[in-house]
Structure 1
Amino acid sequence: MNSSPFVSRRSFLRSAAATLGTAAIVPAFSLAQSGFASKRPAPSARRFRSKAVDAAIESVAGRMKDPELAWLFSNCLPNTLDTTVTFTNSARGPDTVVVTGDIPAMWLRDSSAQVWPYLPFLTADADLARLIEGVIRRQTRCILTDPYANAFMPDLSSAEPLSWSKTDHTEMKPGVGERKWEVDSLCYPVRLAHEYWRITHDTRPFNAEWARAMHSILETFTAQQRKTSRGPYHFQREAFSPYDTLSEDGYGNPSRPIGLIHSGFRPSDDACIYPLNIPGNFFAVKTLERIEEMLTEILHDTTAANQASRLRTEIKAALDAHARVHHSTAGEIWGYEIDGFGNANCMDDANVPSLLAMPYLGSCTKDDPLYQATRRFVLSEANPYFFRGSAAEGIGGPHIGQDMIWPISIIMRALTTGDENEQSQCLAWLKTTHAGTGFMHESFNKNDPTKFTREWFAWANTLFGELILTIDKTNPKLLEKG
């Protein structure tokens, strides 16, 4: 029992789950009795309504032969718009807050991923485009508030962080919800901004403020290469779990500077064991390529663009030299984390960026031989966080613990394969593990899906919607099977 007054994110979620009944066994759900009634809020209660997204739901669901999958898709795809966004127009332009769901804060990673599936509809829905523009502008303000923070409060002037962050030993600033330094937190907003620009050709959000945010990203990435010092970031927490704090006076475990970016925490918000996270650094390479392109084409900032190019080249060379490891049974694969001294952590975590998700994020191709070898490893019991049970198989992580599969990992498995049978199996697992709720969850027990965490987790919901949209585009016959 933790005697500290500190309340961790894990404790908060367990407490909320107990209150909501999400961690307890959910009563059996009768599909016949439900008639697949919509789980969406009433139209008048939806936070934002997009005619283009609603039309896509009606069109795609209408072609799906499996009524339960169609129902899940109809519930999940709009969940971010229905329940998590707050959109306003102000003198400085549109402003959009996107909370994760049951936690009243905006993660840079989650918010980017939550709205990503809506980007194909921007040219058909001007209001939706303004909403996404508002996300980009809000994320810009967040990065300028603190490039080392992973989560922000809706009110960026608030001195009150998330409950479990109040006693953290770090440089907390107003507006910050949690200050866990994660490389991907600065990658996701660039991915979103670049795709928005590519689709709409709108340059309004990419002003001087946005340029300063990009400069801040370059400075942060460079500082966290830690060539001459450990850099300015440190973090410690009085926590029951060792994954909620950093060792070595808050700087993390020892490492050797080899050109890669150090990260305090993983995309799961769990502390890195070795601070050089490989999928995160691959994501940073792609991010720097995007920053270089946008600074060049939109702002004609050749100085910063050249800085991004040099940094990208250096990190890519370090990955080529150090990211491959030899596993005793899997052979040559990418490690998940390394320390630069020759030590490697061979595993994968469900949260993205992950080794499994590398093709999804553009870090490699699906048929890359090294990716295929790594994929076989992470989808096997050689990966300590791969779980196989009577309900499903998939990847979890230390954030929730043993035997708990994350639907995000099953979705990502389906998004990174061209095998129709594998995609079909993933859809079957997702259909049979929502425990009658009509939504995806953070995790579920490999043998009992009624034991799950987070009833309201918008990232997983909209990612499932993205999976269905992707299959509808690439292999629609799969959805037409009964």
Structure 2
Amino acid sequence: MAGAGAIALNAALPLAARAASFASKRPPLAKRLFTSAAVEAEIARVKAAIGDPELAWIFENCYPNTLDTTVETGLVDGKPDTFVITGDIKAMWLRDSSAQVQPYVHLTPRDPALRRLFHGLIQRQARCILIDPYANAFMKDPAAKSDLEWSQKDQTDMKPGVAERKWEIDSLCYPMRLSHAYWTATRDKSPFDDSWARAMKLAVATFRVQQRKTGPGPYHFQRSAAQPTDSLILDGYGAPTRKIGLIHSMFRPSDDACVYPFLIPSNLFAVSALRKLAMVHRQARNDAVAARDCEMLAAEVEAALKAHALVPDGRGGRVWAYEIDGFGNWLFMDDANVPSLSGLALIDAARRDDPLFRRTAALAWSPRNPYFFRGKAAEGIGGPHVGMDQIWPMSIITHAMNADDDATIIRCLRWLKTTHGGTGLMHESFDKDRPSKFTRSWFAWANALFGQLIVELAARKPAILAGRI
């Protein structure tokens, strides 16, 4: 880990000398877990368009990080299988694994090996959901007991193959979104077999159960831990709610417990993901019944959101709440982990130009959000997961993706360039005043998202990338 003094010294070197010091952080070719010709070509294409040597170096390190370090491919029952760890945690989160490969989906038509990787991941996620639709993370061996230290004594219905069992709506939304993205890019029906269809129908059924219209449902979770956000109140079923048609989420995408169980960004994500899933059911499988079931639930949740989840912004307008309970109580904040209020456009849960989304994201990027931090190194959003004054690069990346004006995008790129702690990679979080103090040096989701930002800017704002940041 480079100290702040080392970073300042590096910044003072002449540009040519600094460029020479940017040695690749990628593993040697022989030690890379997966290599895609299309991804390597994309790295070369985009890197050539970046005028800032340090930014180009970070992109080249980050964009392929998922493929280089986290992917294990193989066969299960003669079908492709892909297991994707998060980085320094050797388990597969449904959310993270989907987000980690999202930046490559547009390249799948050009690379049969990459299509096979996606095929394997879609199939693996389906098998995971069939093991337990309430779990957020899974072991590579579907018969193995969790080896995550913090999961050993959880009071819940733990099953073989499950690494952690925190019920989060987005854990099911992300595989729906990934399936749609792959289908849209390739029109390849092969991943969408009967096993996949059973898993997706179970996911939709789980959403319906977690509307809790006729009772609390089967899910409960408690953990003896120093952090209260690692457990649920009321015998593990969470805080009380009035049943209004929204889906209960016991945990946020940060894996922290919700204060109020109707997590609005995740419900908005569910509306979008269900409609995407309906398209795959209808087009890839000719299953109109399953498609209509998705669309009906999406319409019901959307109506409930519009009726109950809009709250005053303190300026005479309305914004989306972060969490509500259906009784009229609500919480406004934001957390860097997507789905977030700031990240709704990133996951197609809102249009980038939607005025309601813009107002909500602007309020989240302000002191009105208790987890918005402004320091000497940068400003951005964190969350309770790693504590106060810790900014998540993911939030800065999301802010840049939301922005249209060059000044905001350049400012975000400068923050990202100057807070990697000398590693050339993104982290989970860094201290707002001391970026050399960071969490998780190997966090593939953040690396993937940074790569996605740069690829998007190469198409949307090439003049920014061509200049010095």
* Normalised TM-score (structure 1): 0.93
1:186-335 equivalences under 5 Å are 186-328=172-314, 331-335=317-321
1:141-160 equivalences under 5 Å are 141-160=127-146
Distance 1:160 1:383, change over 3 A: closer
The residue type equivalent to 1:391 in the other structure is: A
Match of 2:75 in 1: 89
Percent sequence identity is 55
The residue type equivalent to 1:338 in the other structure is: I
Aligned: 1:457 with 2:443: yes
Deviation at 1:56, TM superposition (A): 1.2
Distance in 2 between the 1:453 and 1:159 partners? 27
1:463 partner SS: helix
The residue type equivalent to 2:155 in the other structure is: H
- The match for 1:358 among 340, 344, 351 is 344
1:109 and 1:185 in contact (8 A); partners too: yes
Distance in 2 between the 1:476 and 1:284 partners? 33
1:316-371 per-residue CA deviation (whole Å, 9 max, x = no partner) reads 10011011011335741110000000011100000000000111111222222211
Distance in 2 between the 1:421 and 1:119 partners? 29
2:179 and 2:277 in contact (8 A); partners too: no
1:248 partner SS: coil
Match of 2:380 in 1: 394
Match of 2:122 in 1: 136
Match of 1:473 in 2: 459
Distance in 1 between the 2:375 and 2:415 partners? 11
Deviation at 1:292, TM superposition (A): 1.5
Distance 1:27 1:239, change over 3 A: farther
Deviation at 1:218, TM superposition (A): 1.1
2:6 partner SS: coil
Distance 1:174 1:330, change over 3 A: farther
Deviation at 1:298, TM superposition (A): 2.2
Aligned residues: 460
* Normalised TM-score (structure 2): 0.96
Deviation at 1:297, TM superposition (A): 1.9
Distance in 1 between the 2:378 and 2:278 partners? 42
1:430-449 equivalences under 5 Å are 430-449=416-435
1:477 partner SS: helix
- The match for 1:371 among 357, 380, 388 is 357
Aligned: 1:28 with 2:14: no
The residue type equivalent to 1:28 in the other structure is: A
2:372 and 2:381 in contact (8 A); partners too: yes
The residue type equivalent to 1:259 in the other structure is: G
Distance 1:177 1:330, change over 3 A: farther
1:18-41 per-residue CA deviation (whole Å, 9 max, x = no partner) reads xxx69xx57724644762010100
Distance in 1 between the 2:78 and 2:259 partners? 42
Distance in 1 between the 2:4 and 2:90 partners? 24
Distance 1:298 1:63, change over 3 A: closer
1:158 partner SS: coil
1:357 partner SS: coil
Distance 1:329 1:446, change over 3 A: farther
Deviation at 1:51, TM superposition (A): 1.2
1:105-116 equivalences under 5 Å are 105-116=91-102
1:227-272 per-residue CA deviation (whole Å, 9 max, x = no partner) reads 1101110000001111000001101111111000000000000000
The residue type equivalent to 1:304 in the other structure is: A
Match of 1:17 in 2: none
1:66-91 per-residue CA deviation (whole Å, 9 max, x = no partner) reads 00000000000000000000011344
Distance in 2 between the 1:127 and 1:453 partners? 33
1:161 and 1:175 in contact (8 A); partners too: no
Distance in 2 between the 1:131 and 1:190 partners? 17
2:4 and 2:435 in contact (8 A); partners too: no
Q: Which runs of 4+ in 1 moved over 6 A?
A: none
Report which stretch shifted further, 354-363 or 404-413.
Answer: 354-363
Distance in 1 between the 2:193 and 2:432 partners? 47
Distance in 2 between the 1:438 and 1:215 partners? 42
1:82 partner SS: helix
- The match for 1:60 among 27, 33, 46 is 46
1:439 and 1:461 in contact (8 A); partners too: yes
Match of 1:40 in 2: 26
2:422 partner SS: coil
- CA-atom RMSD, angstroms? 1.4
1:292 and 1:304 in contact (8 A); partners too: yes
Which consecutive residues of structure 1, in runs of 5 or more, have no partner in the other structure? 1-20
Aligned: 1:74 with 2:60: yes
Distance 1:142 1:90, change over 3 A: closer
Distance in 1 between the 2:298 and 2:77 partners? 36
Deviation at 1:301, TM superposition (A): 2.4
The residue type equivalent to 1:196 in the other structure is: Y
1:440-478 per-residue CA deviation (whole Å, 9 max, x = no partner) reads 000000001000000000000011000000000111111
Which consecutive residues of structure 2, in runs of 5 or more, have no partner in the other structure? 11-16
Distance in 1 between the 2:78 and 2:136 partners? 24
Distance in 2 between the 1:90 and 1:222 partners? 30
Report which stretch shifted further, 224-233 or 299-308.
Answer: 299-308
